[in-house]
Chain A
């Protein structure tokens, strides 16, 4: 496993698109980490926002003495800064929710495979139910139930995404459970929790892990959609999605920059995650190499 991961990092030949995506994704992460240092304005601090400079077009120099590179939004917040801070929220929300969904889904899938019988039936029926409905619908129902807030949206994304991991982990664990080393573990009378967490889980984890990058991309898009519909992140601390939503009402009056630039940033983020994620999945999955 480790050798394969290393081989992905080292020797895969890359086209210009892949190089660009990796570069872009790295830039995004660096920007998100460094946001408080490099952003000209803290968009959450009302004292740094000048209301009379609302909806300034890109390139205006503001009272704060710095250039509004991408203009300001309807409340006078610098769009470039809003994007940098929004990037943090979008990334943190989707990475946390994807990691938690992977953990929950893996545990559920492996448990279903190990215990079988009613545990298997109960977990897999729930998985089937979820996977037979569109993710956006599940997320909508979850967020309507839970109410608004950053913690709620993370929960809603976990609810929307755990089932994918559970299904894959179960099928892998089923084939692992019959291998000789598992028989050995059973014959040694190791405690069940030890068998599951130290033997079965680590060996069933690889195919599900390759899903994580793609699912992070989905999570970014889902979070953005929910926030856009006004059901996600609160508007005073906008994620990229709610930043786009903020600009929607100004679009019709021609102030395109309020929604254009956060949307471009969002698109670039999702696209680079998808390209890199697809590449990771393809190189770790030997079957798809032949295609």
Chain B
């Protein structure tokens, strides 16, 4: 019973969130500027041309009507046609998705083990020079503006040393009908800098979390018992402490993966990585309303779905979550 109410409650919440999100996003996009002037030439167009373009884009309808049409289309997977590319907006987003997913996954594959490892070691040796260094480095790493970090990676890794390319995806190989960079050496090379830019703040975040978890668990009775039993510190750390701090770490990994989709906006623009984030910024600047809507909706849906999954996962692993929802 408890589990079912958790699941339904969570999905209802996610659903309401999406409705609110689409409404806010729609109104937001609507007030940006008149997209008619993107498809007709301002200098040569007659009022008749402008009127026909307005009707063709459905912009003559009242705004609530446009929203309903939009909602109807969203449910049927139709976000309209891009004003610029003349392709279905949703298809454009999906076409850019593998690049973003690839970037975020590689970044998380770097960040999760590094962050957890650093946090475990720092928490184990609490108060030592190493611990203080990790803690301070993590506050500093979280203070670096993501765009500046990306630019400095380009400066050091590409311009000064020439080790890595400064942008683009490099050569790709086809797998499951999509192009992936990580399958070719050249593509992997192109991944290094943007993935590091996304990974570094997350290493810091995960390290802090696993450090405080480790400190907490190391003071519990069962760890003391292990120590009294004479287990080696390494075994205690990996077999007893790590499983006990894994729930919050998996949670933050899930949440941050969603956050990466949002932060990809910055990193992708800088590294000209042809993903969803770059598409969003380009479309905002070109006033390509259907694409902006499709992209924002997509990021929001992905984020909300990830959050819901993480919460459910949490409820499966941790009985206290189930209990608290029954009150």
Interface residues of chain A, those whose CB is within 8 Å of chain B, are: 15, 17, 125, 128-129, 132-134, 136-137, 140-142, 144-145, 147, 217, 221, 224-225, 228-231, 241, 244-245, 248, 251-252, 254, 256, 259-260, 263, 266-267, 270-271, 274-275, 278, 291
Contacts and interface: CB of A to CB of B under 8 A. Distances in A.
B116 interface: no
Contact of B139 (A125, A244, A275): A275
B307 interface: yes
B136 interface: yes
A274 B21 CA distance: 31
Contacts of A129: 17, 20-21
Given A132-B307, A271-B139, A271-B140, A137 B262 contact: yes
11 contacts: A133-B303, A134-B303, A142-B28, A147-B32, A241-B147, A244-B145, A251-B151, A254-B159, A267-B143, A267-B145, A271-B143
A15 B269 CA distance: 39
A256 B300 contact: no
Contacts of A134: 258-259, 262-263, 303
Contacts of B284: 144, 231
Contacts of B136: 17
Main secondary structure of the interface of A (DSSP, over half): helix
B28 A224 contact: no
Interface string B131-160: 010001001101111111001101100010
A248 B281 CA distance: 16
Main secondary structure of the interface of B (DSSP, over half): helix
Nearest to A288: B212
A133 B300 CA distance: 8
Given A141-B296, A251-B154, 11 more contacts: A133-B21, A137-B262, A145-B28, A225-B266, A228-B147, A228-B266, A248-B151, A251-B159, A260-B155, A274-B139, A278-B139
B17 A132 contact: yes
B113 to A, nearest CB: 23
B17 A263 contact: no
B27 interface: yes
A136 B300 contact: no
Contact of B281 (A132, A229, A244): A229
Q: Ordered nearest first, which 3 A-B pairs have the shortest CB separation?
A: A145-B28, A271-B143, A263-B148
B92 interface: no
B304 A132 contact: yes
A274 B143 contact: yes
B215 interface: yes
Interface string B21-33: 1001101110110
A260 B156 CA distance: 11
Contacts of A260: 152, 155
A148 to B, nearest CB: 11
Contacts of B152: 260, 263
A128 B266 CA distance: 25
